[in-house]
Structure 1
């Protein structure tokens, strides 16, 4: 298709230097798109996809959108380029090269007029990229790789980024050159991949992070296939994802690749237990991790980007005096893909010093210092060392309170993300994050109790189901107890009731601007059992323990019996004038129950003084299972909803306290929380 007369006069340098009046109005742009001008089609498609229907409907029908005045409104469509050679710029985050489309000039207009206030009715952006092996590619780093355009871009992108990272990024150097126990020697394309035992071998290798998928008959390392793998396996027996990982290693000139299904003995519990605790070394020491983000099934592969945009890219000249071109296209998603929903893959990504991610619509090269998207976006990370980079973290020797607070903050943030992900085997909940926990323990020096740290136990106990307290597009469904799967028959009991791992679904940590308050005896309302060994005598909890279905906490606290009022809680709380003083999370109102003090017969929630707390059951569907509950305050305003369990107590929910004075009047007793 041929550019229209207006677009034929456009060039990248012109757009980069000044605002360009493109069309007198959106209707004119629509007509040019209908006449098949490729650039006008791109612009019109992007505006229509990115703008509210009420706005485009008004503009296409010669009406002024709401909230604009006739006297000062301009319907004109403008372009402005945002071009950076090499994407050089100032700031923590940089967008790739692009072209803005706006109704009225973009701010600031420099007093030149044709600007709309308040705000522009629409502002949309197109991406710009250079094709590989063109002269423009030496100036601009923005790229596009699909099945139809530069499909082998991953080779040059990974090679260039890896070389640059090795030369200039101190934080990205692996702490050790130790290799995994077993690894695949890829050989030449004419040779069979072969499993080898590394022994004292120290060679660069790749590691693979991917989704296995539903198939249970794919070729893996077992006692039956071990001899075949050690002698060399026919490549066609492997899943497509495994074949493509081997292909990448060969293309980059790296002789080895680690793939869990081919390097850990499947069905051997002892080998799995040993190897699953070495993920920090496996991924941390890898030269590069391949993250097969866009694939949900290892049989399908991941190398080919099958993106088909609504409108194909379009070429524009770089300058009026040159035939050299850059390409313009619709923006691409930065979403990683199915891998970002899997529990094991979270740890694999966080432990990797460098990775190339084959995302849903584009590739990403990421390391400890920055992330670089295929489309030119760059995000620079905070270079403050963390516990994830042993050897270069600056956390050697005795760790300061600030180091520990930073580690705890990162840990809680990681748990929030991890609990948003799924596990094929729910019993893997601790194993799938064990290597991160081990690195955190090196800083904290604390016992690890079923996902919580003993030295910060009170804050750890105050987790909440995320959908109950915070709106999030990926966290809408209520939490459940861990559900059975083909790998885990019912009942699935994988953690004590007080651990976030006792439920399935996203949780949110307790938040406090001053984490030291959780270690302040005036703020904290429970304490370890006198004469005991900390918060528990249980010796079966630690980062090296991969299954922790039970652990008893022993403490002294005030357990108070309350009356459970399940109906009318929302209305009562909305009418409570003191609500803002004690109820932190307004979102909890839709699920809350009232907890009232046991009073004279006939007392109810209508008496202001009788409501001592509001609570929410961790698993909402369990509310019908309980008619009698108790409160265990942990800090002055927050605590747990518990129920008797033999001679112990079990957590069933969380509470916010309306009257600490009432709880303070209750006697302290020995509490065993299981």
Structure 2
């Protein structure tokens, strides 16, 4: 039996201990005594607190985000006797000595039953006050009427924020002290946490995995639930109790638990360990454990420890170089990962030559903060760096795995995944996620949970993440998302169209090439130009809703989707369009050129900036005997122009708000007579009145 009180400080070194005397509990105006019940409540634009976004907790639970843009206030409050400010100062000093001398600001996140999370961010801040009119003009948004608005402007830094949690440890009841019991009220608002193993191969880590699999199978029933899944058509068999006996087998209608591996490939060489037509029979005859790459060895060892006899690894279970076998297996990815008892995500590795069972970084060890109750004893807290990036976006950082398109799909499809990260394990199923060291009541939503509650907004964000990831063969871009789209279609009834949905087609057209990393043309045409899959590179959507701002200024969609030719991808739409001149200004820079694209009326009226899908160029020639001058995408392998140019194109209104519009920029299609091709996107700066004199017309886009 365990009691949640305190823990002796014997595990910490003398250099890591901090002791504080108990003083009268007066509410501090800086840290609010780290009490979420007394600190100002935090609610974001989605009307959710930070804690509701991170964890599965009651909606009415107290949560606060304390912003301290002048750390000197924190240090002064600690010096003046605030016990809780002193805890925060000491915690930061323990993990990052000398932080007081640097330009920083910090946030403290509080919630009922959760450890206090302190995020120290590097950089300078200043406040700027604007009227509502000034703010609307500056940010291109309509803000509700009211008082002047004050913004905190932070100058960023390349330094990674220091993120720590202050928590109460869980200890056996027979180790409780009088101080732990008598003065527990002093820290009653700080949540509990367990210790994190210093080696990912410790038995405690395997127990963590087993317990979470059992919880998911029993209570969540993700994937197959408690039923044994059908084994994939080709899988590794690991003989129970024998480290030497491994075989590649081709089972037929056999049900058993199995593990799937999600990882990043290293560069191929003649010595790369894989299965191809030449090695297939040898793999079936038997595989030597020590011939396997180190990652595969650790996966086999993990499977043995968990009592699972079958493992699926793409490099060994798909015949490499056999395109037919690859296509058959690619079509089954949703079944392979969705039915697996567990997917191991090798987030701590670069490739298959690294290990996942290894020691962890000493910097992430925990240490004690002792609160001394004079003459009675002490109440113990513990502090450690967070094992995950708290301020990062929801997709978090899983090393090289976060950069690959195939692992994006594998994570979304998997029923249950354990991430081996450099700092801790993370278990994720379709119902929730939980980090090693978390108290069991501190689970959060899983990333794959998005597929269970899909919205068009969610899909757009997923596509943005997907296109930012790398893929070895551009031709695999659509196959790498197809299994996810099939699963979404099955649950929602939506109809997929080359990475978009017919049910939200107009909104789906509003993608744009990233300004920071412009897209590139594909070697071949694998999708129509209106689809983001027609280019290679990161895109962003300009049609994602903003609930707070859209209430007063909603987007009105003007374009109408009429029909689709499934064979060619040609669509017919009805909308308002204007002919314009596209001006490309090209300025030489060191070892490259800087391109600026702007559209103007035929009489050179004031222009608007265009975000090109890829670099563009002018084109002149005859199409069906008609002389045509237009702008087109620069073909794959061809250099972009090195001199400025002008060409005619078409602006097609997609939708508009009061002060802004979503507009497609189109050039004449060289391949299909009388049709147009998408070449760019314009958002925000074009006033709807630009299209007031144009009549609705039917336009074909390929």
Give TM-score, length-normalised by structure 1.
0.66
Q: Which of 325, 347, 362 is the matching residue for 2:424?
A: 362
**In 1, distance between residues paired with 2:446 and 2:344?**
23
CA spacing shift, 1:196–1:126, aligned 2, 3 Å: same
1:166 has 2:217 as partner: yes
Give the structure with the higher percent strand.
Answer: 2
Deviation at 1:300, TM superposition (A): 1.3
Q: Which of 387, 405, 409 is the matching residue for 1:332?
A: 387
**In 2, distance between residues paired with 1:663 and 1:356?**
53
Cα deviation code 1:258-309 (max 9, x no counterpart): 1111111111111111111111111111111111111111111222244242
Conserved 8 A contact 2:583-2:598: yes
Deviation at 1:248, TM superposition (A): 0.7
CA spacing shift, 1:178–1:663, aligned 2, 3 Å: same
Match of 2:409 in 1: 347
Aligned length: 524
Conserved 8 A contact 1:283-1:348: yes
375-384 vs 174-183, greater mean Cα deviation: 375-384
**In 2, distance between residues paired with 1:347 and 1:521?**
31
Unaligned runs of 5+ in 1: 31-38, 57-79, 83-88, 102-117, 390-402, 468-476, 484-490, 529-534, 540-549, 569-589, 606-610
Deviation at 1:353, TM superposition (A): 1.9
Q: Which of 607, 613, 618 is the matching residue for 1:618?
A: 613
Give the structure with the higher percent helix.
Answer: 1
CA spacing shift, 1:386–1:371, aligned 2, 3 Å: closer
Conserved 8 A contact 1:174-1:284: no
1:631 has 2:651 as partner: yes
CA spacing shift, 1:214–1:145, aligned 2, 3 Å: farther
1:481 has 2:516 as partner: no
Deviation at 1:521, TM superposition (A): 13
SS in 1 for 2:214: helix
1:154 has 2:154 as partner: no
Match of 2:544 in 1: 511
Deviation at 1:456, TM superposition (A): 2.0
5 Å-filtered alignment, 1:322-471, equals 328-334=383-389, 335-376=397-438, 380-381=443-444, 388=451, 406-467=454-515
Conserved 8 A contact 1:192-1:232: yes
Deviation at 1:313, TM superposition (A): 4.5
Match of 1:554 in 2: 572
Deviation at 1:428, TM superposition (A): 0.9
Deviation at 1:97, TM superposition (A): 7.3
**In 2, distance between residues paired with 1:336 and 1:260?**
20
Conserved 8 A contact 2:512-2:540: yes
**In 1, distance between residues paired with 2:212 and 2:610?**
51
SS in 2 for 1:496: coil
Cα deviation code 1:293-343 (max 9, x no counterpart): 11111111222244242x865456799889998864444334322111111
Cα deviation code 1:200-243 (max 9, x no counterpart): 11111111111112234421121211112222211122211111
1:3 has 2:19 as partner: no
**In 1, distance between residues paired with 2:442 and 2:17?**
35
**In 2, distance between residues paired with 1:364 and 1:597?**
55
Conserved 8 A contact 1:284-1:352: yes
SS in 1 for 2:520: coil
Match of 2:243 in 1: 190
**In 1, distance between residues paired with 2:319 and 2:215?**
36
SS in 2 for 1:207: strand
Conserved 8 A contact 2:557-2:655: yes
**In 1, distance between residues paired with 2:175 and 2:527?**
57
Deviation at 1:174, TM superposition (A): 3.8
SS in 1 for 2:302: helix
1:53 has 2:102 as partner: yes
Match of 1:113 in 2: none
Conserved 8 A contact 1:369-1:380: no
**In 2, distance between residues paired with 1:507 and 1:7?**
49
Conserved 8 A contact 1:174-1:287: no
Match of 2:230 in 1: 178
Give TM-score, length-normalised by structure 2.
0.64
1:277 has 2:277 as partner: no
Match of 1:577 in 2: none
Cα deviation code 1:402-428 (max 9, x no counterpart): x8xx44333222112111211111211
Conserved 8 A contact 1:631-1:640: yes
5 Å-filtered alignment, 1:658-669, equals 658=686, 660-663=688-691, 665-666=693-694, 668-669=696-697
**In 1, distance between residues paired with 2:325 and 2:337?**
18
SS in 2 for 1:627: strand
Deviation at 1:168, TM superposition (A): 2.4
5 Å-filtered alignment, 1:491-502, equals 491=523, 493-502=525-534
Match of 1:596 in 2: 600
5 Å-filtered alignment, 1:122-137, equals 125-126=164-165
Conserved 8 A contact 1:182-1:198: yes
Match of 1:34 in 2: none
Match of 1:650 in 2: 677
Conserved 8 A contact 2:17-2:369: no
Cα deviation code 1:61-101 (max 9, x no counterpart): xxxxxxxxxxxxxxxxxxx999xxxxxx85xxx64577999
SS in 1 for 2:646: coil
Match of 2:266 in 1: 213
CA spacing shift, 1:49–1:267, aligned 2, 3 Å: farther
SS in 2 for 1:630: strand
